[in-house]
Chains A and B, each alone.
Chain A
Amino acid sequence: MKRDLASLLAGLVFGFGLALSGMTHPEKVLNFLDVSGAWDASLLFVLGGAVGVTLLSFRFILRLSKPVLAERFIITKETHIDRQIIIGAMLFGIGWGISGYCPGPAVALLAAPNWELLAFLPAAILGAVAEKYFELRSQKQAAARQLKTAAQDHKPAVESPSEGSCG
């Protein structure tokens, strides 16, 4: 209960900050990304203000043994820079650079939706669900392959030709 209220509170502060910062105006975001035009540097201050706070606060928070209202911190331990993160960041950058929307502002704009959001947000959800679907499918296939090779290892060689047709 307390944890749910904390989520709501953090969300409220987040949404208010996003709207105040100007990030929910896609044209303003594009004027920042368009360094060749009349460059709008203000989004640099958004990132600076946000990271300035988290750099300080996270140092102290992550030294605690656990969060105030939960049993543990849920933070990825992944540090590997792989193909997925590079390609994912590039695809996101292309979409962001075209539209001026990243996920946070797109959600915040549900407060005042216009037709742009009706085109963008469902497509974004579809994209994320599609990616997850392919990811889960390739995980399943990899697991099946592993199982198959493991089974083959224990089988006499004559029995194997029946396999592999479904490749």
Chain B
Amino acid sequence: MAIGTFLPALLGGALIGLAATLLLWLNGRLSGISGILWRLFFAQQGDTLWRVLFLAGVVGGAALYYALFDEAPAARETFPVWLLVVAGFLVGYGTSLGNGCTSGHGVCGLGRLSLRSLVATVIFLLTAIITTFVVRHWLGVM
């Protein structure tokens, strides 16, 4: 594989790990995006601002990257809207029920050697691989 594809991936990943390191080291919090975002809607007073600022930072960091390197992704014009709505609902429901997503279970959970997170990560990766196969090759949605 060309160095041009894997180097940004590795560097980007390392920055995500650095961000998780900063939040845990400074504030004692795990940087699981789903938990930080969903609990915003049920958060108690005094527990809201850090969530909002972290999420605003995520948006700002991405905006900075797009501004510097002009790579904001374009929409897939043929992708069915209803399928995105269904997918969104499942991602929200599933990560709330399972208490984490790629960042919470994947990056942070594996980092602290949590068996529970390892099981969750393996399950959502395998399920996603099977689903992508079915959607792309059986249903023909690209």
Contacts and interface: CB of A to CB of B under 8 A. Distances in A.
A in complex with B: yes
Interface of A: 3-27, 30, 33-37, 40-55, 57-58, 61-62, 64, 66-76, 78-81, 84-99, 101-104, 106-112, 114-116, 119-132, 135
Contacts of A91: 90-91, 93-94, 97-98
Contact of B12 (A12, A49, A124): A49
Contacts, number: 477
15 contacts: A10-B57, A14-B31, A15-B65, A48-B10, A49-B14, A58-B112, A67-B28, A88-B95, A90-B123, A92-B94, A96-B91, A106-B91, A107-B37, A128-B37, A128-B92
Contacts of A125: 37-38, 41, 92
A104 B19 contact: no
Contacts of A52: 13-14, 17
Given A20-B8, A68-B25, A124 B57 contact: no
A24 B111 contact: no
Given A92-B91, A94-B127, 17 more contacts: A8-B60, A13-B57, A17-B19, A20-B8, A26-B76, A42-B1, A42-B6, A53-B17, A54-B17, A94-B128, A94-B131, A95-B88, A95-B91, A99-B87, A104-B102, A120-B88, A127-B94
DSSP class of B's interface residues: helix, strand, loop or mixed? helix
A20 to B, nearest CB: 4
B11 A11 contact: no
Interface in B78-107: 79, 81, 83-99, 101-103, 105-107
Contact of B114 (A61, A79, A97): A79
B41 A18 contact: no
Contact of B61 (A11, A58, A84, A123): A11
Contacts of A88: 93-99, 120
Contact of A103 (B37, B42, B81, B115): B37
Q: Which 5 residue pairs across A and B have the least CB separation, nearest first?
A: A11-B57, A88-B98, A21-B12, A49-B13, A54-B111
A17 B54 contact: no
B15 A119 contact: no
Contacts of A103: 33-34, 37, 91, 95, 101-103
